[in-house]
Structure 1
Amino acid sequence: MQRLFSTFPNGWPGCGLLLLRLSCGTPPLLIGAADLWGAQVDAAFGIELLNCAAALSILAGFWTPLAASSQAVLQGALAFSGETFEPAHLALAITNISLVMLGPGSLSLDARLYGRKRIDIGRSQRPP
């Protein structure tokens, strides 16, 4: 996972990526949870469940490139499917693509699991 990103930025850039993750994950999660409440189990239910799982993964910053790319595909399909064009879905698809390109930031599970580690070897731990 570390090979996908040059760094996991912290400070203001890390906070900006956290806000980007919140803006990418919150709307699909809220809409999906409302749609799943009392829905019948069918193919649309499975797609909506995957949508909610990807949104939760984006919010936590866990496997962010995979979750954001699946959200981008789904939101792009929702923008152009149906009888009318939905610009809100297209905007979500574009912000998810930017999240795939930029990465999750330091305030994420990806950074904790796959970020750079520092190992200090003290004098007492070195062999004589």
Structure 2
Amino acid sequence: MQRLYTMFPDGRPGIGLALVRVALAVATLVEADAAGRALALPWLLPAVAAVAIALGLGLLAPIASVLALLASGAALRRADGLDAWICALAMLNALALFLLGPGAYSLDARIYGRRLVVMQDDDEP
């Protein structure tokens, strides 16, 4: 994960990224619920719920955002009117999250974030 993103911003930008993650998770769940009922696929909602939880927590955010992008694209094919706009905005959020990264307030930052390693000389007592 560290190779994908050079830093995990904190402060106001980190809070903004956390809000983007949560908004995308909610939009993905709403789209999956509507698509699951329309297509009569009972397994769709639990699978997308796992992606939404990963998005909300910031766990494997690049993978989860690509999966949310694909889910929104699939929902967009069947949507019309306001639902189509919601799908399109969710796709933009997923793309933004993929490009920006999960932020400092995520599990990815906790697991894969930068660490300071202090080396101690053997000569010092």
Which of 89, 93, 109 is the aligned partner of 2:87?
Answer: 89
Report the equivalent of 1:48: 45
> Is there any run of 5+ residues in structure 1 with no aligned partner, and where?
none
> Is there any run of 5+ residues in structure 2 with no aligned partner, and where?
none
Aligned length: 120
Report the equivalent of 2:104: 106
> Normalising to structure 1: TM-score of the pair?
0.81
Report the equivalent of 1:118: 116
Listed as ranges, the matches of 1:1-128 within 5 Å are: 1-29=1-29, 44-81=41-78, 84=80, 86-121=84-119, 125-128=120-123
1:33 CA displacement: 6.9
Q: Percent identity?
A: 31
Q: Secondary structure at the match of 1:12?
A: helix
* Residues 31 and 87 in structure 2, CA contact (< 8 A), matched pair in contact too: no
1:26 CA displacement: 2.0
**What amino acid is the match of 1:93?**
M
* Residues 61 and 102 in structure 2, CA contact (< 8 A), matched pair in contact too: yes
1:48 CA displacement: 1.9
Moved >6 Å (runs of 4+): 33-36
